[in-house]
Amino acid sequence: MRSNDLTVGEMARRAGVAVSTLHYYEAEGLIQSWRTEANHRRYDRRELRRVAVIRIAQTLGIPLAQVREVLAQVPSGGAVRKADWQGVSEIDRRMELLARLRGQLDHCMGCGCLSLENCPLYNPQDRLGTTVQAHAAGWEKRKNAKRHRTHLRPEHSFAKSPSAG
C-alpha cells in the first residue's frame, strides 16, 4: 500500500459516506480507485477532496452529470478550483433563485399578512389545491351516501330463521 492510499472503509469513514456511495461515485466516473494484488480497492487520499466537492454539489442540487463534467476536466489527483466551476450555470441559477426567495421572505417577514391581493408567495393558479378540494368534497359526498345506504339495510342475523329448519 502506498503512503497516500486508503482502504474503502477508511475512505468512507473519513469522507463521511457509506462504502456503497463510494462504489456508486466510482461507477459514475466521479472518483477513481486502484486494486491491490488481492483485488482490494484502494483510494488515493486526494480523492477525499473530490468526494467533498461531490457532496457539496449534491447539497446545492447540482446534478451529478454536471459534477462529472467539471471533475473530468480536473487532472487526477488535482484540486478542484473556482475556475473549474465557472461554466456551471446551475450554480448561478440557484443563487439567483435564492436571492429572489430571500427578497420575498424579507417582505413577508415584515408584513406577516399573507394577503391574497399583495403577497408575493400567494399562488393564484393553485390547480392542485382546487383539485384536492374538489376531491375532498366528492369523497365526503360518497361517504355520506354510503352511510345513508347502510342505515337502510336490515340488520344481519346469524341465527337460523324459523323456516330454515
113 within a domain of the structure (yes/no): yes
141 within a domain of the structure (yes/no): yes
Q: Among 34, 77, 26, 76, which residue's Cα sits nearest to residue 54?
A: 26
Residue-wise pLDDT tens digits, 58-69: 888 888 998 898
18 within a domain of the structure (yes/no): yes
Task: Give residue 122's domain range.
Answer: 93-149
Which band of pLDDT confidence, cut at 50, 70 and 90, is reported for residue 3? low
Listed in sequence order, the residues at least 6 apart from 44 whose beta carbon sits closer than 8 Å to its beta carbon are 2, 4, 5, 6, 32, 34, 77
**Total domains present in the chain:** 2
| Residue 74 and residue 111 in one domain | no
Residue-wise pLDDT tens digits, 80-118: 777 777 777 677 787 888 888 887 777 666 666 656 555
| Residue 103 and residue 58 in one domain | no
